[in-house]
Amino acid sequence: MAQSDLFQGLATHYDALMTHVNYDRWFHVVGVLAGLLPRGLVHVDAACGTGVLLERARRAGWRSVGVDISPSMLAALRRSRGALPCAVGDLRALPVHGADLITCLFDSMNFLLEHEDVELALVKCAAALRDGGLLYFDVVTERMMVDHFADQTWTETHGGLRTTWANHYDPATRICETWVRVNTGAESATRERAYDLDFLVKAVENAGLTLLDAFDVENWKAPTRRTCRIDFIAAKNPSQDLRRRVEKSLSEMRRQVR
């Protein structure tokens, strides 16, 4: 299987396997951020996968396009969601510019296995944004990989699909490799790497972006050693007004989840 299409064996079943994902939560945050930007905003869903978030954005009336490195995932998108605007593209070479909002969610950054790749992806996101544009991305942490995946195996059923999962975490490289078999099909493997919060904060800043917030997805507080997933919100040359409005909106969302 080509390195650029690691999801070839999973793409057809991906939506069924991800029914547990709280897409509503992510789209709520995306919607709040979009509300802070000019009307008619241009939105890019980087690493859009099968287009769950992209479809919602288009239904909301946004000028949204999707980009994903996996042709198989985009083929699954077209089969299940029709002719949504999307194209094959690498996070490290985003084929877009002039975006007001870029989303890169569901731990897509973790699939970049070298520090240099993450740094380059953030540089390309910054280049694709207009001044005042926002980047919203997330990562899973080493805590997530160690507690929920490291050397664990399990079998589960989703909508009639029986899947077997096997995982190995290497603490030296901080890479978690996951093998998934759907029914009696061939086994598919994916790899993700955990990155330190300090590295990610510096990489955002070195890309020419201003980090507006980084918080634990579960409790909306500052990340700790127990955090499993972190949300990042950054901006390109934000005005003081935009900074204040983002801070106010995040404060309101934090109060809602208490």
pLDDT-derived band at 119 (thresholds 50, 70, 90) equals very high
Neighbours of 68 (CB within 10 A): 27
Residue 147 has pLDDT above 90, yes or no: yes
DSSP assignment, residue 43?
E
Gap between the Cα atoms of 182 and 163, Å rounded: 5
Q: Which two tokens stand for residue 52?
A: 């769950």
Residue 239 has pLDDT above 90, yes or no: yes
Neighbours of 254 (CB within 10 A): 13
Higher pLDDT, 191 or 9: 191
Residue 75 has pLDDT above 90, yes or no: yes
Q: Residue 2: helix, strand or coil by DSSP?
A: coil
Own/partner long-range contacts of 173-180 (Cβ < 8 Å, ≥24 apart): 174/142, 174/145, 175/113, 176/145, 176/149, 176/150, 178/149, 180/9, 180/10, 180/17
Residue 124 has pLDDT above 60, yes or no: yes
pLDDT at 258: 61
Higher pLDDT, 258 or 70: 70
Place of tokens 């899947």: 163
What is the arithmetic mean of pLDDT over 95-112?
Answer: 96
Residue 89 has pLDDT above 60, yes or no: yes
**86-90, 100-104, 183-187 — which is least confidently predicted?**
183-187
User: Across-strand partners of 97?
Assistant: none
pLDDT at 4: 59
pLDDT at 20: 83
Neighbours of 36 (CB within 10 A): 18
pLDDT at 6: 81
Delimit the domains of the chain by residue range: 3-140+194-257, 146-189
pLDDT at 2: 37
pLDDT at 256: 82
- How many helical (H) and strand (E) elements, i.e. helices and strands, does the chain have? 8, 11
Give the number of C-alpha atoms closer than 13 A to the C-alpha of residue 214, restricted to the C-beta side. 22
DSSP assignment of 135-164 equals EEEEEE-HHHHHHHTTT-EEEEEETTEEEE
Distances (CA, A) of 215 to 151, 221, 228: 28, 5, 11
- For the domain covering 3-140+194-257, report its CATH number: 3.40.50.150
Place of tokens 């972006």: 209
Q: Check: pTM over 0.85? Answer yes or no.
A: yes
